[in-house]
Chains A and B, each alone.
Chain A
Amino acid sequence: MSSGTATDIAARSKAVREALDAHVREIIEWHFNPETGCPFWLDYASKLDWDPRREIHSYDDLRRFGNFQDEWLRGGPVRRWVPKGLADRPIYVFETGGSTGVPKSRISIEDFRIDYELFSETLPDEFFPKGSDWLMLGPSGPRRLRLAVEHLAQFRGGISFCVDLDPRWVIKLIKWGEMAMMERYKQHVIDQAVTILKAHPNIRCMFTTPKLLEALCEKVSLKKAGITGVFCGGTEMTPQFHRFAVEELMEGAYFAPTYGNTLMGLAVHKPFDPADNYAIIYYPPTPRAVIEVVDPDQPSLLVGYGETGRVRLTTLTREFFMPRFLERDEAERQEPCETYPWDGVRNVRPFSRLQTSVVEGVY
């Protein structure tokens, strides 16, 4: 067991880094090998005057790819993202964005299950009892969330009930100024959740978004409904919301905030520490994904610990390789901690320079 001293964390960080570099080499070999790689990256490599398999030796070497462009994920053919080594497997496609225009698509095979199985390890059994059922109250449709939460429930021996919400419709209602209609839609979603909770007493755990959590707690007491653990994500959470949720909504239930998306996977929250004053600190599932905070004006440079910058995501799985994608979020860079001896992010929120073009609804 780690002693948690700074020296110990530094030593473990170094080991994590070495493992990450080894993982990068493995992933590069997979995606750029003509036998196993996907058409997109093989085509990309054919236009380079250097060979990624020969010249990428470490995570830092990924800088040679520049920044992953989200436009690459808009439009087809989507099979260009399927690695040849996995071509005979059943393929899912998940989307992110898409309130206007063409959404970004990402193919998936097992990643969503693996991500959520890893996440499952971070959930305390006391609050998320094995064998108990779940309520998945949030967006499904083209997103991976419904399948992922359902798998999480099944992985933990439970069954997941689902209530859908269409965030693209919510964003349209907000843009049109149809706030009353948005409220009615939200209530329609919440009414279904309340009905399910009342009818199925074995539901102990749930996933939902911050705004749906607030709306649900206006209608029911989580405690009376038998909920003991809430996994929350999907949109920005402020420290004030975190405190409000813990102090006024949870009634003793465990609150597990998460950050993630279809492209990266799921970053987990640092275990609650009063010293953090409800700051929401996330750590990525390294080495499968890396989250960094970079200078918005010089995105090749990391900011210092505690400093603010733009979030940069890297996904490193056999199903999907996404180097150095500049996310539409900003955050403070967080130092490694005992549980997660690698870089994290603190208080993620929409990137202020892009904020006018981002609409977040009830989702």
Chain B
Amino acid sequence: MLHIPILRHGAPYRSIDTQRVAHYRTREPFVELSMANPGLIRRDLLRQREVREKLAAFPTSVLLEMCRRAADYFMNDTLPVGDETQTPDEYVRQLSATTGMPHVLVRKNMKKIYGAMAEMESVIAGLTRGLDLSILDTGHGMHEGHAVSFFPRTDSLGVVLPSNSPGVHSLWIPAVAMKIPLVLKPGGSEPWSPYRIAQAMIKAGIPAETFCFYPTEHAGANEILRSCGRGMFFGDSSSVGKYASDPRIELHGTGYSKVVIGEDQIDEWEKYIDVIAASIAENGGRSCINASGVWAPRHGREIAEALAERLSKIVPRDAEDPEAQIAPFANAQVAARISAIVDAGLQEEGATDVTAKYRPERLVEKDGATYLLPTVVHCESPEHALANREFLFPFASVVEVEQERMPEVFGPSLVVTAITEDEALINRLIASPHVDRLNIGPIPTMQIAWDQPHEGNLFEHLYARRAFQRAAAGSGK
């Protein structure tokens, strides 16, 4: 069986403690992971300063060039995976085997990761607002006529990763170009992407020591976040709460992303149904930037009907099918629990599963795999229990709410696509602390721009600016 080792500052280490990850359909063990004990992680991380100094010695321009090359290697080359090798096609098949994600969606995510590496200069320019990147080499310089100086807040970035969608890996990759080594804890069923990204980077010339890769249990994940000066944590609402008061850790929890239609556009809602459907269902509905709500002042039932009719055409297909749009659940019990939560919510008056009449069951099995079919619920009020929920499948509530209550009634929302030209509403959205990413106009919530930050600015997370003044040479004489 294929074995994926720990990477201890780039050096493979085979642990006695292993965990086997099963194929999503056959439930047969598919890959074995070496598991890191917390003490080993702590001990390795005593070297953080030394490792950062080695990475920081590379000029940023060289690191950007290495990232570009790494993008190509990630996308096209055969790279090591444990003692074996992995072609790009094998990566797609292996990732699909343990997560259930259809090949076509894996390939889309692969392109997203490729994009993050290939477009690293744009990404960093966006995050630093066009800073002359040689300032990261010297620590100080001039920016827009002002003296600036930045210093790293940490010697490494610890990242506790999810398994839901490989696209999230594009979020931490820029740390390398910003000279901050990585300490990665992969998601339980998705070790493939972070391992392959690290291998592509190493092949491109990034020092292998830059990458620690620790499959580990909760205690090990806690050690990573505790030992690294800065961290990123991906998890559901209950798990991110534990770190809510720790400013060192950037949290990526539930998105509650929404498409919002203003009074001025609502009578033309049919024009936007493609954008709304794509926002809900792209990437199998597994991303935090998938819309889980459509909020409109009226026509809620018609919008829900139109979405239900369209999304009910999405059916389970083989992982290899290029038309596949949804992924099965690697754990069938999770799917059953989610479906039961939706059913329990529907017991409360004021909500209807509009998709129900288009397909007999929400929870279905195909070839031994368990799926949740797309579900659109119409909610008569934003107070309904299902009005603001997010699940790991294409699920959206269409909620009727007066425009005057927007955006206060939304609660925290990672992405809001606001289909409106009403400046007053737009201004309220811009001023809202609850809206993280804002798209004005019919832009799918899933559409990202490389030069825009996501859920916090990684540069500001990793670097701080200090006041800086330097007297002219000789002025002290």
Contacts and interface: CB of A to CB of B under 8 A. Distances in A.
A41 interface: no
Contacts of A238: 16-17, 37
Contact of A214 (B15, B17, B43, B242): B43
A90 to B, nearest CB: 40
Interface string B1-35: 00000000000000111000000000000000001
A177 interface: yes
Interface in A7-23: none
A240 B242 contact: no
Interface stretch (A73-81, A148-156, A241-249): A241-249
Nearest to A239: B16
B222 interface: yes
Contacts of A278: 16
B299 interface: no
Given A177-B242, A183-B226, A214 B39 contact: yes
B159 to A, nearest CB: 18
Contacts of B43: 214, 217-218, 248-249
Given A177-B242, A238-B17, A244-B37, A214 B42 contact: yes
Tell me the dominant secondary structure on chain B's binding face: helix
B17 A239 contact: yes
A241 B226 contact: no
A130 interface: no
Contact of A244 (B39, B46, B242): B39
B40 interface: yes
Interface string A220-246: 000000000000000000111101100
A131 B37 CA distance: 35
Interface string A252-283: 00000000000000000000000001100000
Contacts of B38: 214
Contacts of B242: 177
A328 interface: no
Interface residues of A, number: 20
Given A177-B242, A278-B16, A240 B37 contact: yes
B362 to A, nearest CB: 30
Contact of A218 (B35, B46, B226): B46
A215 B42 CA distance: 9
B46 A241 contact: no
Nearest to B34: A240
Interface string A88-128: 00000000000000000000000000000000000000000
A239 B46 CA distance: 23
Contacts of A87: none
A240 B39 CA distance: 10
B17 A179 contact: no
A240 B19 CA distance: 13
A210 B42 CA distance: 13
Interface string B241-282: 010000000000000000000000000000000000000000
A211 interface: yes
Nearest to A217: B43
A243 B15 CA distance: 9
Contacts of B46: 218
A248 B42 CA distance: 12
Contacts of A215: 42
A217 B15 CA distance: 20
B16 A243 contact: yes
Contacts of A239: 16-17
Contacts of B226: 179-180, 183
Nearest to B18: A240
Nearest to A360: B219
A249 B40 CA distance: 10
A239 B18 CA distance: 11
Interface in B200-224: 222
B144 to A, nearest CB: 39
Given A217-B43, A277-B16, A240 B222 contact: no
Contacts of A180: 226
Nearest to A238: B17
Interface in A179-223: 179-180, 183, 210-211, 214-215, 217-218
Given A179-B226, A183-B226, A240 B42 contact: no
Which of B37, B38, B42, B226 neighbours the largest number of chain A CB atoms within 10 Å of its CB? B37
A217 B38 CA distance: 14
Contacts of B35: 240
Nearest to B39: A214
Contacts of B40: 240, 244, 248
A134 B436 CA distance: 58
30 contacts: A177-B242, A180-B226, A183-B226, A210-B39, A211-B39, A214-B38, A214-B42, A217-B43, A218-B42, A218-B43, A218-B46, A238-B17, A238-B37, A239-B16, A239-B17, A240-B16, A240-B17, A240-B35, A240-B40, A241-B37, A241-B39, A243-B16, A244-B37, A244-B39, A244-B40, A248-B40, A248-B43, A249-B39, A249-B43, A278-B16
Given A218-B43, A239-B16, 14 more contacts: A179-B222, A180-B226, A183-B226, A211-B39, A214-B42, A214-B43, A215-B42, A240-B16, A240-B35, A240-B37, A244-B40, A248-B43, A249-B39, A249-B43
Q: Which 7 A-B pairs have the closest CB atoms?
A: A214-B39, A240-B17, A240-B16, A239-B16, A240-B37, A240-B15, A244-B40
